[in-house]
A = this chain, B = another copy of it.
């Protein structure tokens, strides 16, 4: 039970146990009521009552199938993904990604469109709201109730959902959550705004190769460099909500953003990088970079090794401070992981304990470029896992 100042009552017991059953079914495939009772320690009668409630809420479904052992056959229960949807939107300097996910983890839609932050937040907010509105309409048209929307932004987001500072977008002090709620005309679903690295970490925890890890760090490799920190099973937020600002940390030679950011990497790894003006679209540059790396171009390999070392140094700091089990590289680091990871691991090994004594393993993300968007949906679905169920449909 929680340590909070709030007292508990029956509703809390019910919510907790509903969540226990829901999580158990999600984690342990098709199960019978009796199986749930045996595994959770709840009484059979209680499980029956809880399951009936969850079926009413269209969160569980009976599969007609019976098991073929001795005794009365069991009616198996599985997650019913079909009634609800959660929407996540990721904002970067050059595009928006929207995804909708159902409870069973099915991806209902995955949209990507160009986006220009353009130093004028008003239009940016309109574009985000428009995309969110269309995603919600699509989900509704498919007969699904939208449970919530989370927008991931590369920058500092405070606890009220306001963007205090987002260099990659040129924004500061934009009440994104408030403006979105206005633009969406007070939707009945939940609206939240969070840092992109935080959401990507949640996505990895729920859907990644190392899902369920209680200690996981996600390192974004988008325009900015940020970290989402999950320690002891919880996402760290800190005093103002500004955790994981790893790009800002000072190493010998500059900040990590300067030493190992994507822009710096491109400029050092590609001999003919455009010297004039900022890069507006990174994807083709990264493609050229991987080609050059595969061709073993010395300058490219040197730059990748160098960036890997700096990342490794920064990750050794994180490892000494937070003792994670898993570190996931995301964004543009994923296609480059083959070259970055060995250098980073070598650097980490010299400054931290060995993996068998509490060190961390370093892996590339398998979630693709929209990790933060998926994480936005995951944040919404996580609410169900903690007992915050949708009201009964009438």
A358 part of interface (Cβ distance < 8 Å)? yes
A164 part of interface (Cβ distance < 8 Å)? yes
Q: Residues of B contacting A321 with CB < 8 Å?
A: 227, 229, 243-246, 249, 317-318, 321-322
| Contact, CB under 8 Å: B1 / A2 | yes
- Given the interface pairs A13-B13, A239-B325, A351-B249, the reply to whether A3 lies near B386 with Cβ below 8 Å is yes
| Contact, CB under 8 Å: B234 / A232 | yes
Q: Which of B7, B9, B40, B241 makes the CB contact (< 8 A) with A5?
A: B40
| Contact, CB under 8 Å: B3 / A323 | no
A69 part of interface (Cβ distance < 8 Å)? no
| Contact, CB under 8 Å: A7 / B42 | yes
Contact flags A368-383 to B (C-beta < 8 A → 1, else 0): 0000000000000000
Interface size class of A (residues with CB under 8 A): 35 or more
Which residues of chain A (179-219) have a CB below 8 Å from chain B? 214-215
A290 part of interface (Cβ distance < 8 Å)? no
Q: Which of B251, B320, B352, B358 makes the CB contact (< 8 A) with A239?
A: B358
A156 vs B15: C-alpha distance in the bound complex, in angstroms? Answer: 38
- Given the interface pairs A1-B12, A40-B7, the reply to whether A358 lies near B248 with Cβ below 8 Å is no
Cβ-closest chain B residue relative to A21: B7
| Contact, CB under 8 Å: A41 / B7 | yes
Q: Residues of B contacting A7 with CB < 8 Å?
A: 16-17, 20, 40-42
| Contact, CB under 8 Å: B358 / A242 | yes
A308 part of interface (Cβ distance < 8 Å)? no
A236 part of interface (Cβ distance < 8 Å)? yes
| Contact, CB under 8 Å: B3 / A8 | no
Give, as a whole number of angstroms, the nearest-CB distance from A360 to chain B: 8
A23 part of interface (Cβ distance < 8 Å)? yes
A33 part of interface (Cβ distance < 8 Å)? no
Q: Residues of B contacting A9 with CB < 8 Å?
A: 13
A152 vs B242: C-alpha distance in the bound complex, in angstroms? Answer: 31
A324 part of interface (Cβ distance < 8 Å)? yes
A40 vs B4: C-alpha distance in the bound complex, in angstroms? Answer: 11
Cβ-closest chain B residue relative to A216: B239
| Contact, CB under 8 Å: B323 / A242 | yes
A313 vs B386: C-alpha distance in the bound complex, in angstroms? Answer: 39
Q: Residues of B contacting A127 with CB < 8 Å?
A: none
| Contact, CB under 8 Å: B236 / A322 | yes
A40 vs B6: C-alpha distance in the bound complex, in angstroms? Answer: 7
Most buried by B among A16, A229, A353: A16
Most buried by B among A1, A24, A352, A387: A1
- Given the interface pairs A2-B2, A12-B1, the reply to whether A249 lies near B316 with Cβ below 8 Å is yes
A240 part of interface (Cβ distance < 8 Å)? yes
Give, as a whole number of angstroms, the nearest-CB distance from A58 to chain B: 22
A357 part of interface (Cβ distance < 8 Å)? yes
Q: Residues of B contacting A360 with CB < 8 Å?
A: 239
Q: Residues of B contacting A10 with CB < 8 Å?
A: 13
Q: Residues of B contacting A144 with CB < 8 Å?
A: none
| Contact, CB under 8 Å: B8 / A12 | yes
**What are 10 A-B pairs with beta-carbon distances under 8 A?**
A1-B1, A1-B16, A6-B41, A7-B42, A8-B16, A215-B238, A231-B243, A238-B323, A248-B320, A317-B321
